[in-house]
Structure 1
Amino acid sequence: MCGRFTFTIQPEDVLTHFHIEQELEGGSPRYNIAPGQQVLSVVHDGENNRAGYLKWGLVPVWAKDPSIGYKMINARSETAHEKPSFKRLMERKRCIIVADSFFEWKEENGRKQPYRIYAPKQSFFSFAGLWDRWRDGDEDLVTCTILTREANPFMESLHHRMPIILPEEQEQWWIQSETRNAKQVHDALRQFSPPELEAYPVHSMVNSAKNDGPGCVEKVSVE
């Protein structure tokens, strides 16, 4: 599961990392990104990497109602290559969703305590994502979902699922635009190991998507 994350770094750092020569609007830090909001993503157009904003919550091209996106913020990597909603996207519509940390909730002392998870040795994550375009008359939505996997030993104490974080050396392979066999993509994802992660407890204000400020990522004491 990945239901909230942050993007507090400079977008220019992402453009530099992915060798993207373009201007990008919307550079304000985000401390509590929630489903339904715009997220910075990277795709490959057949010639170059491109960055832009996609709506988080996949609305497949065949959907009758765009509200389905709120049920499709994550896709299980173990079965995505078999599911009609995701197989076609695994083959030809892969993207990177950029974040510098994500949140998870752990049951402690009878309540759910939020934790911020980050990688101390790198400035941001490249989440493995899928995207699609949905149209209905004049309405045009470009949306995405984050692929997840079973938790690694570090994450198990917080949650049984975690987002797939691409190794830097596999980022370009993931977004390269040529069509690939969905099963081969699935098999490759199983081999990717996440970076070293650390976590610390944060204030319960992060529970509400209405809160989006530095207080969402400040460390708190847990009694």
Structure 2
Amino acid sequence: MCGRFTLSYKANELQLSLGITDIPEDWEPRYNIAPTQAIPAVINPVTKKMEFLYWGLVPSWAKDVSIGSKMINARSETVLEKPSFKNAFLRRRCLILADGFYEWKRSAKSKISTPYYFQLEDREIFALAGIYEIWHSPEGSELWSGSIITCPANELVAPIHDRMPIMLDKENMWAYLDNKPITEIKAMLAPFDATQMIAHEVSPKVNSGRVDSPDLVEAV
């Protein structure tokens, strides 16, 4: 599962690092992006425009948006089988921009879970493999929503959690949006190289989705 992540880059840093040319004016670095909040995504690899998606996929056939809170993740193993995700993976893939994510380690002796922060060893920006949908309300309004694809954890994440998000580095992320055989895209849904990642324990303050400050990613 991936239930929280960060993107601490400022607008000018996104432009320099990825060539993002169109960034919402109200963008601010985020240190605790949570489900049902706006997530930063790129849908078009040509324009490289950063969009905001509602985190929690709402299929076009849904009666209302409430289903989205249950669909923040799609499993790589079944993304081409589940009706809720298949068409989106085939036709509506997106890059969800990030520079780290959180996972929680459950204690065998208590109900307390300990949060850990994961990032690339060089602390560079990367993308999470995503899918998106466009939902229309009965009143005619439009909602663009997204989900993060997950896979079995690599050697670094596994001691903390059994799942992790699909991570795509700067050199490979744009290929995920290519119009190529879906078998080639599916092959990209693999655990990221653990030797290129680092992790550390962080404060339980991150447990609250209402808290969003730089100190959340600091080691404790």
> How far apart, CA to CA, are the structure 1 residues paired with 2:74 and 2:57?
9
Q: TM-score, normalised by structure 2?
A: 0.90
How many Å separate the matches in 2 of 1:44 and 1:189?
20
User: Is the CA contact (8 Å cut-off) linking 2:11 and 2:23 kept in structure 1?
Assistant: no
Task: Tell me the equivalent position of 1:135.
Answer: 136
RMSD value over aligned CA atoms? 2.0
Q: Is the 8 A contact 2:32 2:212 kept in 1?
A: yes
Contact 2:72 / 2:147 at 8 angstroms: preserved in 1? yes
Call closer, same or farther: CA 1:123–1:56 in 2, change over 3 Å: same
Distance 1:31 1:191, change over 3 A: closer
Aligned counterpart in structure 2 of residue 145 of structure 1, from 139, 144, 147:
147
1:35 deviation in Å?
Answer: 0.3
Structure 1: runs of 5 or more not aligned: none
Change over 3 Å in CA distance of 1:120–1:187 after alignment to 2? closer
DSSP 3-state at the match of 1:53: strand
Residue in 1 aligned with 2:196? 196
- Look up the SS of the partner of 1:216 in the other structure: helix
Residue identity opposite 1:36 in structure 2: T
Q: 1: distance between equivalents of 2:40 and 2:188? A: 24
Q: CA deviation at 1:156?
A: 0.6
Alignment coverage as a number of residue pairs: 217
Displacement of 1:104: 0.8
More moved, 84-93 vs 67-76: 84-93
Q: Distance in 2 between matches of 1:48 and 1:84?
A: 29
Q: Secondary structure at the match of 1:156?
A: coil
1:129–1:35 CA distance, 2 compared to 1 (3 A): same
Distance between the aligned counterparts of 1:96 and 1:188, measured in 2? 13
Partner of 2:210: 210
Check whether the contact 2:166–2:190 (CA below 8 A) recurs between aligned residues.
no
> After TM superposition, what 4+ stretches of structure 1 lie above 6 angstroms from structure 2?
none
Q: 1:107 — aligned with what?
A: 106
Q: Does the 8 Å contact 2:24/2:50 carry over to 1? A: yes
What TM-score, normalized to structure 1?
Answer: 0.88
Which residue number corresponds to residue 68 of structure 1? 67
